[in-house]
A and B are shown apart, each in its own frame.
Chain A
Amino acid sequence: MGHVEISGVSKRYGDVTALDNVSLSLENGEFFGLLGPSGSGKTTLLRSIAGFVHPDAGRILIDDEDVSRIPTHRRDIGMVFQNYALFPHMSVFENIAFALSVRRHGKAETAERVEAMLRLVQLTGYGGRRPDQLSGGQQQRVALARALVSRPRVLLLDEPLGALDKALRQQMQVELRQIQQEVGITTILVTHDQEEALTLSDRIAIFREGEVVQSGAPDRIYERPRTAFAAEFLGATNFLTGVPSAQEGAVGRIALADGQTIATLDPLPAGPRSSGSVTVTVRPEKFSIHLGARPDFGGATPVNCIRGTIARQIYLGASITYGVSAGGVELVVFEQNREAVLHPPGTEVWLSWNAAHSIVLED
């Protein structure tokens, strides 16, 4: 129960393509994050699964059943809305019991299941309150309990934590993940918050202009982004552009704008591209900073080492963020604050990183 198959779904609003031939497959019990900037189509896809949006093309299957022609109230889904959409004229108990009462469940069973839900979201004893007597985090939990009480096949979350402040949001992320795993329900999360998507999701799909740019496990996308958009959207990153100069076995060499050369283990694009140049991305935490003479790495693993100058520093306590001018650009470099030594702007340094972390981008 809870297998979701989205195949070739498209939706246009006039000249705007909200969804362009989107296909995704969700496994039972999986937590799937739809990540992208506003207007990228992730919400349209979620609302299509809920039945509020009717795609122009493609099919949405829940447990191998095409739901395209099934109205929302018979799709057997649960949804948590951005502003929770709790019924203001009902108590917490009545809100959670709603899905059971429209299905005409018995009083005793309803009470039992609502109490179980209140326990699950740690709100035992709050059944008699009105939604406006609850804090934002409590309202969020009531919304979750209300969506789960009928044991739906799929749980849809539309920016569920967007209205909470940061500390509460992080706490709720942990709770949400726990509850989802306890219940074991297939869950689809829409968010523009990359940290939220990373924390919660088993897999992520990154959306851009109605298309899925890349999908996969969070660490796969983070470590091996395929495009500059995916790299930039998921975490901070650096881009180095150069011209392929040599291919020595598995190691490809790229000449940067300032004449220095870097290595990558990714295959360099075969044949001349229109521009002839190639872009490589390196995450800020992959760098090491060295002072003095060029360090000698010796070993078998190919390591990059380029000369640069500290342009700026941001002291963050646990870590230090440097801006380092190298290779014709300013690179962002994170350094763990182990030695409590700051490199002032103007310092000449060496930046080294494993060639495996030079990711060649597709565009």
Chain B
Amino acid sequence: MPAAPRISAFGYGYLAALLVFIYLPIVIMMAMAFNESSNYELPFRFSLIWFEQLAGNEVLWRAGRNSMLLAAVNTVVATVIGTMAALAFARYKVRGHAFLQVLLVPPMAVPWLILATSMLIFFYYTGIGRGLHAMLLAHVALSLPYVVIVVGARLQSFGVDLEEAAATLGATPLQTFFRVTLPVIAPGVAAAALFAFGISFDQFVTSYFLSPPGVTTLPVEIYASIRKGFTPEINAISTLIIVLSMALLLLVSRFYRFGGR
């Protein structure tokens, strides 16, 4: 194997700048969650006071529960429907295949603000109204294209012959799916589920539009708190979210190496 070309000092400098740009704000935020001062004053004095206050913040907790619930249900619904759609595209003759695939793009390309506005209007006229159910509909609609594309890419990477082989060995179509197709596309499905979870959990615009008074999600509540006046409590909950999502990612990547087998 030829030796990989060495990266120049400039290259390393560029890399360092990039990492600092991405991670320094996060690190500062996390540090401030443990700083006693409410006004970001230095010197740093370690304290858990903001976490204690957070523990007593009923509103934030309720919003957090809503967010988790919404994200979890959205993940299941979008992943199941999206995987089925990807399978249909990859393995069956679907009438209007090309047109349907083109239809996947707009939810990703059109700004969420505009989609959220149109959904608000549509839900208002159809009587669906606002609330967690409406948010769920919106989140599923927004995450579905990502699931279809990610799972579809995985399905493209192996031929139909594994499934044909299963059929010659006596497996029914259902057995073939659960024992051959699903295990092989599992890394893609897991990645798609992460996308779906992230899109819902991180969703601000549509949730903000579709949340009736009293029913909010974490991003909406955080935004509301910031408008009222910034407290390091937000830093504390953000720190919790970062730690949790990092743990989730590590867990998933332990089981599935993304991309390859």
Contacts and interface: CB of A to CB of B under 8 A. Distances in A.
B257 to A, nearest CB: 13
Given A87-B180, A89-B184, A98-B166, A81 B161 contact: yes
Contact of A72 (B161, B167, B183, B261): B167
Nearest to B176: A73
Contacts of B172: 73, 102
A103 B164 contact: no
Given A89-B183, A103-B170, A150-B170, A52 B162 contact: no
A51 interface: yes
B168 interface: yes
A141 to B, nearest CB: 15
A77 B170 CA distance: 8
A85 B168 CA distance: 11
Interface string B140-171: 00000000000000000001011011111111
A147 interface: yes
A79 B175 CA distance: 18
Contacts of B91: none
Contacts of B159: 83, 85
A78 B168 contact: yes
B179 interface: yes
A72 B184 contact: no
B170 A51 contact: no
Interface in A19-67: 50-52
A298 interface: no
A85 B184 contact: no
B170 A73 contact: yes
Given A81-B161, A89-B183, A132 B261 contact: yes
Contact of A73 (B162, B171, B183, B184): B171
B161 A102 contact: no
Contacts, number: 70
A50 B169 CA distance: 11
Interface string A79-120: 101010111110000000011001100000000000000000
Nearest to A130: B261
Contacts of A78: 168-169
A73 B173 CA distance: 8
Interface string A252-291: 0000000000000000000000000000000000000000
Interface in B160-210: 161-162, 164-173, 175-176, 179-180, 183-184
B163 to A, nearest CB: 9
A102 B170 contact: yes
A203 interface: no
A192 interface: no
A2 to B, nearest CB: 15
B164 A85 contact: yes
Contacts of A87: 162, 165-166, 180, 183-184
28 contacts: A50-B168, A71-B167, A72-B167, A73-B166, A73-B169, A73-B173, A73-B176, A74-B170, A79-B165, A81-B161, A81-B165, A83-B161, A85-B159, A85-B161, A85-B162, A85-B165, A86-B165, A87-B166, A87-B183, A87-B184, A88-B184, A89-B184, A98-B166, A98-B179, A103-B170, A147-B169, A150-B169, A156-B168
Interface of B: 159, 161-162, 164-173, 175-176, 179-180, 183-184, 261
Given A81-B161, A98-B166, 5 more contacts: A79-B165, A83-B159, A83-B161, A87-B162, A146-B165
